[in-house]
Chain A
């Protein structure tokens, strides 16, 4: 009976152990699943954010390309304007500046001024200056938003391509100015050139700087022969570690660490995309924590594995505790069974003892009676003798 009980208890314990083991395996599998899923999600998120950054930069590059194509159209319209053709027609008639020809420049100047005045983004002027230059390089018309610009020294004849039939965009050699230029052909012969200066501040303010994107900086970078230079760059927010713009490959994110002026390091990612139809590209520096601040996927796996081990450890500890409790319970149960058996045996023994005592008493009584009988017999015998 006792053996059967023990076997049952052991079977239950085994069954429970198996369940716990299976639960542990399942838990480990679940944790592993979570681990992999999390890793994949994190990797996916990082990829998505990078794609988003790329798309944002592409959108900016498209907007900048459109901006410059509009500016080119402005110059094409100026070159096709009646005012400009009248001047060159009058010039071809042989008129001199002193006697009538100069008058033909005044409507051109008015038209340039009108364009400077009208073309705005919000309240900010797009053009700061538009000039008309004769074939030989002498200045014919100089329309500027402010008189101080007219006094500027110019080197336009040095840095712009000659005789180009389409409007071209270029930057000054120091990268601080943006110029759009178109050649004017009178009767299919190169006759002069119109050059317009675009305000880089307006471009940056309205197309490259976005509200709520403090973690990103976008720069217009010239890709001309002089090398890759940012156009109208504000003082960089980093003292050192800033990469050479020329080393940032088109479309390939570059991670780097830069030091700010307070001396602390910051991780950044740089992305460069071309601006179609211009010699420029856009370079965006992003320090978004979602892209840069988080560990890389392998670090994530390590951390997740450590977490899983901790969880599994706790589970094992709990299982161990449970097992111990189960063993104790079994032992208790067995002790109780043994105690009940002992009790029963004690009762049987007590009953036996009592029986024996009763039998002994009866024997004693019988003995006494026998003795008394023998004594009396002896006496009687003696007496009889």
Chain B
């Protein structure tokens, strides 16, 4: 009985402390615990773009497909553009103010952090757990996760059966018991595709997504997961050094993430995206950074246009 009282008291204290911290944070940084919506962005005169240097979405040299798209969106809103560099483990916290831990297709909210940006665009794949914490725009880019091997690996690429589920099953057979490189909190997390049940030799890469292809070329692992844009860039950068074994996921979409507190901003972005698809500016940007992708996924670009 005494123990139950102590537990209740501790819980109350914890709640009070958390609430006090939240009130203090709200007082010190007004508006930073909630995502800003369209009016607030316009009133503040700046659109904060959360991004991580990754493939040709954000090159790290001040440009990239998502950088140009967000700059155009800021221009569309009539506000200034500001890039806020973040990390895959922090990006959704920086956008929503809540830190989360993915658990399969679900999430666990682990705490609060200050909101640092209004939109997150960095080649972000739409995943079920992510949809629980953020709202996504209309798809901006096609994606799929592939299994990639070093060229001299004994694992042989599959022959397509023209059935994606059968192809995925064929690829998963190769993974069984093999060392596999993935990356936590991204679309390359092996558990998203149930790969942890097939092999217990999974290692999660600590470096950036851009370094995963060089990692297997350098012998860090025989196999790795790579998303299509990254894999295609890697094939161009290191021809003959890597090979694509086959898919581990169905076709996915990449999109711009918004805080669930910013429905109007998301709506405005979708309007802007449709307009830029019509006037050709979206395709100019895609062609500039991924000129081979429209040819590779013509259906996506035909359908979306």
B240–A89 contact, CB under 8 A? yes
- Whether B292 pairs with A90 at a CB distance below 8 angstroms is no
A95 at interface (Cβ–Cβ under 8 A)?
yes
Q: Tell me the smallest distance from the CB of A26 to a CB of chain B, in Å.
A: 90
A86 to B240, CA, bound (A): 6
Check A106 against B292 for contact (C-beta < 8 Å): yes
Q: Is the CB of B160 within 8 A of A104?
A: no
Query: How does the 8 Å CB contact mask read for A77-116 relative to B, with 1 for contact and 0 for none?
Result: 0000010001001100111111111111011011000000
- Bound-state CA distance A13–B296 (Å) is 113
The SS class assigned to the B binding surface is mixed
Given A106-B296, A107-B292, A96-B157 contact (CB < 8 Å): yes
Known: A90-B239, A104-B239. A99 touches B295 (CB 8 A): no
In the complex, residue of chain B having the shortest beta-carbon distance to the beta carbon of A99: B244
Residue of A nearest to B246 (CB): A99
Q: Is the CB of A90 within 8 A of B243?
A: yes
Q: Are B235 and A96 in contact (CB under 8 A)?
A: no
B231 at the interface (CB under 8 A from A): yes
A-B contact count (CB 8 A): 63
Are B160 and A94 within 8 A (Cβ)?
A: no
Indicate if the CB atoms of A90 and B158 lie closer than 8 Å: no
Whether A103 pairs with B296 at a CB distance below 8 angstroms is yes
Taking a contact as CB atoms closer than 8 A, the residue among B159, B231, B239, B295 that contacts A96 in the complex is B159
B-side interface residues, number (CB < 8 Å): 24
Across-interface contacts of B151 in A (CB, < 8 A): 93
Interface readout for B219-259 with A: 1 if CB under 8 Å, 0 if not? 00000000000011001100110011111000000000000
Q: Is there an interface contact between A82 and B157, defined as CB atoms closer than 8 Å?
A: no
**In the complex, A110 Cα to B292 Cα: how many Å?**
9
Binding site for B on A (CB under 8 A): 82, 86, 89-90, 93-104, 106-107, 109-110
Chain B residues with CB below 8 A from A98, complex form:
160, 162, 167
Contact A93 B239, beta carbon cutoff 8 Å? no
Contact of B160 among A82, A89, A99 (CB under 8 A): A99
The answer to whether B146 has its CB under 8 Å from any CB of chain A is yes
**Quick one: which of B167, B235, B247 contacts A104, CB cutoff 8 A?**
B235
Q: How far is the CA of A98 from the CA of B158 in the complex (A)?
A: 10
Inter-chain contact B247/A99, CB cutoff 8 Å? yes
Q: Are B157 and A94 in contact (CB under 8 A)?
A: yes
B9 contacts chain A at the CB level, 8 A cutoff: no
Q: Are B296 and A102 in contact (CB under 8 A)?
A: yes
Which residues of A have CB within 8 Å of B275?
Answer: none
Chain B residues with Cβ below 8 Å from A110 are: 291
CB-nearest residue of chain B relative to A97?
A: B160
Rounded to whole Å, the gap between the CB of B28 and the closest CB of chain A is 50
- Give chain A nearest CB distance to B95 CB in angstroms: 32
Interface string of B92-109 (1 = CB under 8 A from A): 000000000000000000
* CB of A154, distance to nearest CB on chain B (Å): 21
Q: Is B201 an interface residue (CB 8 A)?
A: no
Q: Is B239 within 8 A of A86, CB to CB?
A: yes
Given contacts A100-B235, A103-B296, 11 further A-B contacts (CB under 8 A): A82-B239, A86-B235, A86-B239, A89-B239, A97-B160, A98-B160, A98-B167, A100-B157, A103-B235, A103-B236, A104-B235
When C-beta atoms are compared, the residue in chain B nearest to A98 turns out to be B160
* CB-contact partner of A99 in B157, B236, B291, B292, under 8 A: B157
Shortest distance from the beta carbon of A48 to any chain B beta carbon, whole Å? 59
Assess whether B156 is interfacial by the CB under 8 Å rule.
yes
* Pick from B158, B240, B292: contact of A103, CB under 8 Å: B292
* Chain A contacts for B162, CB-based, 8 A: 98
Q: What's the least CB distance linking A40 to chain B, in Å?
A: 71
CB atoms of A96 and B243 under 8 A apart: no
The residue of chain A having its C-beta at the shortest distance from the C-beta of B155 within the complex is A94
- For residue B240, which residues in chain A have a CB less than 8 angstroms away from its CB? 86, 89-90, 93
Residues in B with CB closer than 8 Å to A101 are 244
Could you tell me if A100 and B232 are in contact, using CB atoms closer than 8 angstroms? Answer: yes
Residues of A within 8 A of B156 (CB): 94
